[in-house]
Amino acid sequence: MRADRLVAALLLMQARGRVTAAELAEELEVSVATARRDLEALSTAGIPVYPQAGRGGGWSLLGGARTDLSGLTAHEAQALFLLAGPAAPAAPEVRSALRKLLRALPQTFRADAEAAASAVVVDPLRWGEPEKERPALVRVLQDAVVRRRKVRLAYEGRSGGGPRGGNGGAQEGRSGHGSSGGAGGRERAERLVEPWGLVAKDEVWYLLAGTERGRRTFRVDRIGGAVVTELEFERPDDFALAREWEEVVAEMERRRSTVSATVLISARFLPVLSHHFGRHCEVAGEEADGRVRVRVAAPMPLTIAEQLAGWGARVEVVEPETVRAELARIGAELVERNRPRDDSGG
């Protein structure tokens, strides 16, 4: 796109001070004639770009002037506004940043950027649910991440489980947390950590941090308090938040799928079963009677049985026997507890 080339030409002049049409053509992989037309277009548009003839000549910005450009290409600007636009309604600072960036973009970019910002609306609320605010601790921890300051956490975990059921992450689960006899099966511990990054997953926030035992993952909603210290730290040179989070998720998914079962179900019910088990649901084949053979997984046989109990005769568990036994036990309990009452006796 020509807009990309015009921005690239300006950035090149800012970096080098002066460029020739031939140099610009080589950098942008266009003809010398095209590069010259682009330079002339910049000058005609009122940007202080001027040519200097003779040996050592070329094109440069008048008086070493600098443009207020972000360095974005047209596609990059559109992508940024498309990504940030949906967050703007709930984040005044995002709206302010977008307005400033929009003013900094060349006129040729602005229409597309504005259109991208309004192209997608993200409504995070389910029907009938109130708006959920971002936990106040997130801003505190985010500041500590940016400033590279250690944080003293008061953390409440639970023995066992993972991000949703326990200590907040695969690594955290292995570390334990020490215990101060918290109520309700919770364990409370204080820990000085190096906050490396924050992740929001399904409306739950997690802090990835460095500790004396290595990387640990903390659920923000289980942090009872956080005090930002003036102790500085440096993140590991090879740290990449997205990659580290992928490792946490992979470990948790492994822990959540230690037991598997094979079940038979009608093909028309397969989408619902897949929704219940998520990524731990895999089609293994089709039966002669039209049913589908599916493998499902969970941390324990009881967990699988509990999720299948409500299906009644629509699901048949082929194996293992541990899951079949749990289902039979649950069924017997339901029959006993919900046996019809005899109301004929006054």
* Structure confidence at residue 101 (pLDDT): 62
Q: DSSP character for 126?
A: P
Could you say which of 1.10.3720.10, 1.10.10.10, 2.60.120.10, 3.40.50.620 is the CATH number of the domain covering 2-64? 1.10.10.10
**Greater pLDDT, 311 or 159:** 311
* Structure confidence at residue 180 (pLDDT): 34
23-38 pLDDT per residue, tens: 888 888 888 888 888 8
Buried b / exposed e over 57-83, threshold 16 CB at 10 Å, is ebbbbeeeeebeebebbbeebbebbbe
Greatest mean pLDDT among 81-85, 93-97, 182-186, 331-335: 331-335
Backbone angles phi and psi of 304, in degrees to 5? -65, -45
Q: Are 189 and 212 in contact (CB under 8 A)?
A: no
Mean of pLDDT values over 230-242: 88
Q: Which of 124-128, 175-179, 241-245 has the lowest mean pLDDT?
A: 175-179
d(CA 48, CA 17): 13
d(CA 316, CA 322): 14
Nearest to 24 by CA among 64, 63, 51: 51
Residue 325 has pLDDT above 50, yes or no: yes
* Structure confidence at residue 97 (pLDDT): 63
Nearest to 59 by CA among 74, 47, 71: 47
Mean of pLDDT values over 151-180: 50
Domain locations in the chain as residue ranges: 2-64, 74-117, 136-252, 259-337
In sequence order, what are the residues at sequence separation of 6 or more whose Cβ sits closer than 8 angstroms to the Cβ of residue 304?
A: 259, 261, 296, 297, 298, 323, 326
Residue 223 has pLDDT above 70, yes or no: yes
pLDDT category, 77, cuts 50, 70, 90? Answer: low
As its CATH architecture, domain 259-337 has 2-Layer Sandwich (3.30)
Mean of pLDDT values over 90-115: 62
pTM of the model: 0.51
Residue 291 has pLDDT above 80, yes or no: yes
Lookup: tokens for 292 = 């589908």
